[in-house]
A and B are shown apart, each in its own frame.
Chain A
Amino acid sequence: MTKPVIPPNAASGQQDALLTVTNLKKYFPIKGGVFNRVINHVKAVNDVSFSIKRGEVVGLVGESGSGKTTVGRTVLRLEEPTDGSIVFDGTDITRLSKPEMRRYRKRMQIVFQDPYASLNPREKIRTMLGHALAVHHIGRPEEREDRIVKLLEQVGLTGDYLDRFPHEFSGGQRQRIGIARALAVEPDFIVADEPVSALDVSIQAQVVNLLEDLKAEFNLTMLFIAHDLAVVEHISDRVIVMYLGRVMEIAPTRKLYRSPNHPYTKALLSAVPNPDARARPDRIILKGDIPSPINPPSGCVFRTRCPIAIPDCAKVIPVPTEVSPGHFSACIRTAPQGAALSTPELQDAP
């Protein structure tokens, strides 16, 4: 069986990739039985390849169990990859030791969904942001307070908040602090894992706007993980759709939302209740639940819920195939395998 290979450069259409992920796998062992041995694995991420250009925002969408959060954590080495490689700014960081990794930690940061759970409740804002700077030896101690105030201002807060504790802030303000902490070390790359999902709609828009401003100001590169398809469309240049640990489709945002190729993407987009389209006769309602990632279906993982599956779908694992420039889809029905390869280097890939 052929391994899905998307040469990263072909996937992004550019040479200037800041992050390149190739055939990434992350399996979590399940222990059990009398001897508490590993009896099975949760295949959270299975053969995922993509790349992100400098200054690009790539959205990563999928439902629970799709592996999107695990991808985000694994590319930052917050989880150890089971297989595959992660290349950051030309360096393979997949197997770097902890001390070696420290240099890169400063350049790669994460913003979490739940700003409350990710902030230490006993630390004042001053201490918390001061730590982030001290750990990475940024600025002289006496300069740090000015820096922290500047950071707070960049995320729309003020120096008045320096001596407050996390519980004194609202959800939106806490998320701003989470973003300030990520920005404190001046990273090149940020993984934003559902950064606005826990916020009220009026506050969501504030934080989305803030992320866009910061992206423009600091030329940030971002992996934006979310299940809200409207927010992802708004903020991303390209979008990756995952299902049960695998990539179903990758495309420039406009293409993905206007002309999705994969039946899962189509169903997902049609399922979103849209305030701008009241009647929806074309909705595809998928049957059943997402299967267990411990024992995913053979062949295409989506076939058990797919409206157009055929017997062959159980036999082959579909490879993300280019259906138009920069648009990849992993489906033997809608993206015939081996066909439509528009870039020559795709065929040369190992």
Chain B
Amino acid sequence: MQAASPQTAPPKAGTPLLEVQDLHTSFIVGEGQTVRAVDGVSFVVNAGETLAIVGESGSGKSVTSLSIMRLLPKKIGKISKGTIRLRGRDLVPISDREMRNVRGNDIGMIFQEPMTSLNPVHTIGQQIAEVVIQHQKVSKSEGMKRAIEMLEVVGIPEPARRAAQYPHEMSGGMRQRAMIAMALSCEPSVLIADEPTTALDVTIQAQILDLMRNLQERLGMAIVFITHDLGVVAEMAQRVVVMYAGQVVETGTVEEIFTRPLMPYTSGLMQSIPRMGAEEKTRLQAIPGYVPLLTKLPSGCRFRTRCAYAEERCATSEPPLEQLENGRSVRCIRWKELDLPTRASA
């Protein structure tokens, strides 16, 4: 495991690895109409750091990750603007062939549903070995050896026996581990995890999150963790990007986002989940209404139709993402005058 790629020492913690700048991704919906599923998204992830992208369905968080990986559905989805820099190199203009290389070697990805990335007709060992052989040009037997090592690293008992099994012979938690093993087999410097534990039971989720943290510590990876689960965010991330209807609406450290949200949507999210072990039961503060369709966005601020603090001027023009100090940013023209509630203190 350690000796895999001696030429690239683990990057120093804190160096920017992945920089997404002004990313726009559009989709064709129906006759000639396009929507911007991702509309001007920017963020930076540093080595050894976990950045959480939080949002509900339709927020554009998954499309952002698919754009980075160049796994958008061909013909209907494409990046229309922006840069995606990995260690300073822009990935947007490179060829598909070069991108394939990047995907295996530099960026790994794990999904919510492992069966979408595992091939049902090959054994787990063959699939991981295949990745290693393709990207690191080692022999077949060396590849298999490395695959078994990786299964051990992700905590699969009896890795040699498991390597000979097919995905359907494994439980959901096992498959998720196998997929993580595959994503990590080339020691990527950036790992994109799109709802990697959402389909799992909590006791299995706890195992997987623990595993990801340990591996990050050992390998110094940067992790982009896409999730809707604020508990997982609090546990895994150092910094948070909140997305709504295709745009970034707030960024900050986990501490800042949880204790002092500046955007009414973030504040609303914080209040809408029940607190475990609360002294008194209080009614949940639900955000009224629904996430707007990208084809029917309201004028001005996209959140204003559901916002308790909206005023007339919120409808007139789209608020910019205002940059504050230390990477904190907010998209709300009223943020200075609002003192938003967050989760009631324990």
Which of chain A's residues have a CB closer than 8 A to the CB of B205?
Answer: 271, 273
Contact of B233 among A234, A275, A287, A289 (CB under 8 A): A275
Question: Is the pair B174, A289 in contact by a Cβ cutoff of 8 Å?
Answer: yes
Tell me whether A283 is interfacial, beta carbon within 8 Å: yes
Tell me whether B35 is interfacial, beta carbon within 8 Å: no
Tell me whether B268 is interfacial, beta carbon within 8 Å: yes
Contact of A290 among B201, B207, B210, B230 (CB under 8 A): B201
A278 to B235, CA, bound (A): 6
Question: Is the pair B290, A203 in contact by a Cβ cutoff of 8 Å?
Answer: yes
Tell me whether A272 is interfacial, beta carbon within 8 Å: yes
Contact of A278 among B202, B254, B268, B277 (CB under 8 A): B254
Of listed A209, A273, A278, residue having the most chain B CB within 10 A: A273
Interface residues in A229-248 by Cβ distance below 8 A to B read: 229-231, 233-234
Of listed A170, A202, A212, residue having the most chain B CB within 10 A: A202
Question: Is the pair B235, A280 in contact by a Cβ cutoff of 8 Å?
Answer: yes
Question: Is the pair A209, B343 in contact by a Cβ cutoff of 8 Å?
Answer: no
Which of chain B's residues have a CB closer than 8 A to the CB of A230?
Answer: 273-276
Which of chain B's residues have a CB closer than 8 A to the CB of A280?
Answer: 235
Tell me whether B336 is interfacial, beta carbon within 8 Å: no
Of listed A230, A267, A270, residue having the most chain B CB within 10 A: A230
If A268-B202, A285-B210 touch, whether A275 touches B286 (CB-CB below 8 Å) is: no
Q: Mark A273-298, 1 if CB is under 8 A from B, else 0.
A: 11111101001011111100000000
| Closest chain B CB from A60 CB (angstroms) | 15
Which of chain A's residues have a CB closer than 8 A to the CB of B268?
Answer: 202
Question: Is the pair A286, B284 in contact by a Cβ cutoff of 8 Å?
Answer: no
| Closest chain A CB from B60 CB (angstroms) | 14
Which of chain B's residues have a CB closer than 8 A to the CB of A205?
Answer: 272-273, 284-287
Contact of A200 among B56, B230, B234, B235 (CB under 8 A): B56
If A63-B202, A63-B203, A273-B209 touch, whether A234 touches B281 (CB-CB below 8 Å) is: yes
Contact of B229 among A63, A234, A268, A273 (CB under 8 A): A273
Which of chain B's residues have a CB closer than 8 A to the CB of A275?
Answer: 230-231, 233-234, 258, 270, 273, 343
Tell me whether B204 is interfacial, beta carbon within 8 Å: yes
Q: Mark B285-304, 1 if CB is under 8 A from A, else 0.
A: 11110110000000000000
Q: Mark B233-262, 1 if CB is under 8 A from A, else 0.
A: 111000000000000000000100010000
Tell me whether B3 is interfacial, beta carbon within 8 Å: no
Which of chain A's residues have a CB closer than 8 A to the CB of B172?
Answer: 64
Question: Is the pair B274, A231 in contact by a Cβ cutoff of 8 Å?
Answer: yes
Tell me whether B160 is interfacial, beta carbon within 8 Å: no
Interface residues in A161-205 by Cβ distance below 8 A to B read: 170-173, 200-205
Which of chain B's residues have a CB closer than 8 A to the CB of A347?
Answer: none
| Closest chain B CB from A304 CB (angstroms) | 13
A44 to B308, CA, bound (A): 46
| Closest chain B CB from A14 CB (angstroms) | 21
Interface residues of B, CB < 8 Å — how many? 48
Question: Is the pair B277, A257 in contact by a Cβ cutoff of 8 Å?
Answer: yes
Question: Is the pair B201, A227 in contact by a Cβ cutoff of 8 Å?
Answer: yes
Of listed A277, A280, A289, residue having the most chain B CB within 10 A: A289
| Closest chain B CB from A270 CB (angstroms) | 8
Question: Is the pair B229, A229 in contact by a Cβ cutoff of 8 Å?
Answer: no
If A212-B283, A268-B203, A286-B203 touch, whether A273 touches B291 (CB-CB below 8 Å) is: no
Tell me whether B33 is interfacial, beta carbon within 8 Å: no
A287 to B57, CA, bound (A): 32
Which of chain B's residues have a CB closer than 8 A to the CB of A42?
Answer: none
Which of chain A's residues have a CB closer than 8 A to the CB of B286?
Answer: 202-203, 205-206, 208-209
Question: Is the pair A200, B229 in contact by a Cβ cutoff of 8 Å?
Answer: no
Which of chain B's residues have a CB closer than 8 A to the CB of A63?
Answer: 201-204
**Which residue in chain A gives the minimum CB-CB distance to B273?**
A201
Tell me whether B188 is interfacial, beta carbon within 8 Å: no
| Closest chain A CB from B294 CB (angstroms) | 13
| Closest chain B CB from A276 CB (angstroms) | 6
**Which residue in chain B gives the minimum CB-CB distance to A273?**
B231
**Which residue in chain A gives the minimum CB-CB distance to B265?**
A202
Question: Is the pair B283, A209 in contact by a Cβ cutoff of 8 Å?
Answer: yes
A203 to B172, CA, bound (A): 27
**Which residue in chain A gives the minimum CB-CB distance to B155?**
A287
Which of chain A's residues have a CB closer than 8 A to the CB of B210?
Answer: 285
Tell me whether B269 is interfacial, beta carbon within 8 Å: yes
| Closest chain A CB from B233 CB (angstroms) | 7
Contact of B202 among A209, A272, A277, A305 (CB under 8 A): A272
A203 to B273, CA, bound (A): 10
Tell me whether B171 is interfacial, beta carbon within 8 Å: yes
Interface residues in B22-58 by Cβ distance below 8 A to A read: 56-57
If A64-B201, A257-B276 touch, whether A173 touches B283 (CB-CB below 8 Å) is: no
A52 to B30, CA, bound (A): 51
Tell me whether B228 is interfacial, beta carbon within 8 Å: yes
Which of chain A's residues have a CB closer than 8 A to the CB of B233?
Answer: 275
Which of chain A's residues have a CB closer than 8 A to the CB of B275?
Answer: 230, 276
Tell me whether B125 is interfacial, beta carbon within 8 Å: no
Question: Is the pair A204, B272 in contact by a Cβ cutoff of 8 Å?
Answer: yes
**Which residue in chain B gives the minimum CB-CB distance to A61?**
B202
Question: Is the pair A273, B235 in contact by a Cβ cutoff of 8 Å?
Answer: yes
Q: Mark A51-74, 1 if CB is under 8 A from B, else 0.
A: 000000000000110000000000
Add 18 more A-B contacts to A64-B201, A206-B288 (CB < 8 A): A63-B203, A173-B290, A201-B230, A201-B272, A202-B268, A202-B272, A202-B306, A206-B286, A271-B202, A271-B203, A273-B205, A273-B235, A274-B276, A275-B230, A275-B231, A286-B206, A286-B207, A290-B201
* 13 A–B pairs (Cβ distance < 8 Å), ordered by A: A63-B204, A201-B56, A202-B56, A205-B284, A205-B286, A230-B275, A234-B281, A258-B277, A271-B203, A276-B276, A276-B346, A286-B206, A289-B173
A residues near B, CB below 8 A?
Answer: 63-64, 170-173, 200-206, 208-209, 212, 227, 229-231, 233-234, 257-258, 267-278, 280, 283, 285-290, 305
